[in-house]
Amino acid sequence: MIRNIVHIDEEKCNGCGLCAEACHEGAIEMRDGKAWLIRDDYCDGLGDCLPACPAGAITIEKREAAAYDEAAVQARQAAKVTEPLACGCPGTQARRIQHEVEPVPTNTAHPVQSRLSQWPVQIQLVAPRAPYFAGAHLLVAADCTAYAYGDFHERFIKGRVTLVGCPKLDPVDYTDKLTAILQDNDIRSLTIVRMEVPCCGGLENAAKTALQRSGKFIPWQVVTISTDGRILS
């Protein structure tokens, strides 16, 4: 049948996951840092997800699609074994994290030194041609990573220009800004540090897309941090 149904523009999608939270039917899921309509018959075509998208990546189109199947939606929701969250995003799941407490030396003469080499650090605030980008090793990190990984300054910030952001909280797509930084400067390397939660895929995708658009060959790597502070990859 011909009916209204959601269309997601993969190029515009920044991976924030807000549309998946807004979809009451569970028709949208995050996969590889992008939103996907997983089944036509799960989408009622009413567009509750549209105002949630900060990137304007979602529209309603009229096309051939299976009829909305409310029974299938209810059956799928009933089959879910995970505990319901305040929203559908694993990044907001409340849980306690416990670590083995190691003794801290009390005779340390100096406090731990910050390794931050420039300001500002927010992607939205930096100027693409700021002088500190000249010949820089660039770190693009999700906001939460520095809190989750205890030795973040020594392991990641030291020797790099640091940019941070959160695609879930910032109503922008970082791709254009990062593309300009890579194109307009002699960037020596790119390190992307993200959390394991799906919404962080938006930051990784923006950085990778920016690298492709820059047309440059720049050594790059992606590091994923678990919510309990371990390096997963």
The predicted-structure confidence for 80-92, as pLDDT tens digits, reads as follows 644 444 445 555 5
How far apart, in whole angstroms, are the C-alpha atoms of residue 45 and residue 98? 44
Is residue 8 within 8 A of residue 35, CB to CB? The reply is: yes
Q: How far is CA 91 from the centre of its chain?
A: 10
pTM above threshold 0.85: no
Question: Are 8 and 85 members of one domain?
Answer: yes
Query: Would 52 be classed as within a structural domain?
Result: yes
The H-assigned helical ranges of the chain are 18-22, 70-79, 145-148, 152, 175-184, 201-214
The predicted-structure confidence for 187-233, as pLDDT tens digits, reads as follows 999 999 999 888 888 899 899 999 999 999 999 999 999 999 999 98
What DSSP assignment string belongs to 82-129?
A: SPP-SSS-GGG-------PPPPPPS--SSPPPP---SS--BTTTS-TT
Query: Would 28 be classed as within a structural domain?
Result: yes
Is the per-residue pLDDT at 186 higher than 70? yes
pLDDT band at 118 (very low <50, low <70, confident <90, very high): very high
* CA-closest candidate to residue 42, choices 85, 78, 22, 71: 71
User: Residue 46 has what DSSP assignment?
Assistant: S
Question: Are 73 and 143 members of one domain?
Answer: no
Is residue 187 within 8 A of residue 194, CB to CB? The reply is: no
Domain membership of residue 189 as a residue range: 131-225
Question: Are 82 and 6 members of one domain?
Answer: yes
How far apart, in whole angstroms, are the C-alpha atoms of residue 51 and residue 48? 7
Number of structural domains found in the chain: 2
